Structure 1
């Protein structure tokens, strides 16, 4: 018996053809009432990079993708319990957090923010990791 569902399966060699990878992953996993999303970035759900050079536009894309993925897994943005935001420059903190804050107004997840040297693609300026818990009602 499967204890979880996987949504939007893909292989990293498709998403990152410039890298020598061959990993089977997915964009979302629902385990019971918990939904885990892969890090959302400037890559849209069709594999195109948007918002090159614009951290706020990348955050907007990341949150729009997160909304779709959560809904596909039976969840909503309102169910988000934890976020981790990675940015590649401290200057991106305000524009990224403004966008995320607008999408999550009234949700009150716990949040961790990290400044990192780089992300999976050099075009990525930010990434958000999301966990949601679907209420039992």
Structure 2
């Protein structure tokens, strides 16, 4: 009996054709009542970048992805307990956190924010991963 469920499995050969990779990954894992969501960026699930050069637009797309993945896992945005946000420029902090905050109003997760020298693709400006719970059925 599996102890976890993998959501939206993929291989990096398809998602990173410009790199020599061959890794089996997934977008989210449900383990018990916990959902771990892979870092989401400004690319939709069709592989199209939304918001080239625009950290706010990329954050909005990342949050749309997170919402969809949590729903597929049986949870939702109100059950996020932790976020980790990576930005490639400290000047992006306000637009990124303003947009993410719009999606998390009233949720009060714990949060870690990091400024990094780069993400997996140079056009990505922000990446957000979350941990959420699946509420008990009443």
TM range (shorter): over 0.9
Per the alignment, residue 102 of structure 2 pairs with 102
Offset from partner CA, 1:44-87 (integer Å, 9 cap, x none) = 11111111100000000000010000000101000000000000
Q: Which runs of 4+ in 1 moved over 4 A?
A: none
TM-score using structure 1 length = 0.98
**Count of aligned pairs between the two proteins:** 137
| Unpaired segments ≥5 residues, structure 1 | none
Superposed CA deviations along residues 87-112 of structure 1, whole A, max 9, x for unmatched, are 00000000000000000000000000
Map of 2:90 onto structure 1:
90
Structure 1 CA distance, aligned partners of 2:49 and 2:127? 13
Indicate the residue corresponding to 1:130 in structure 2: 130
For structure 2, the residue ranges without an aligned partner over 5 or more in a row are none
Q: TM-score, normalised by structure 2?
A: 0.97
The 1-side partners of 2:13 and 2:93 are apart by: 30
Q: Tell me the equivalent position of 2:2.
A: 2
Q: Deviations over 1:24-56 (max 9, x none)?
A: 001111111000111000111111111110000
What's the offset of the Cα at 1:136? 2.1
C-alpha distance in structure 1 between counterparts of 2:48 and 2:16, whole Å: 11
Question: In the alignment, is residue 111 of structure 1 matched against residue 138 of structure 2?
Answer: no
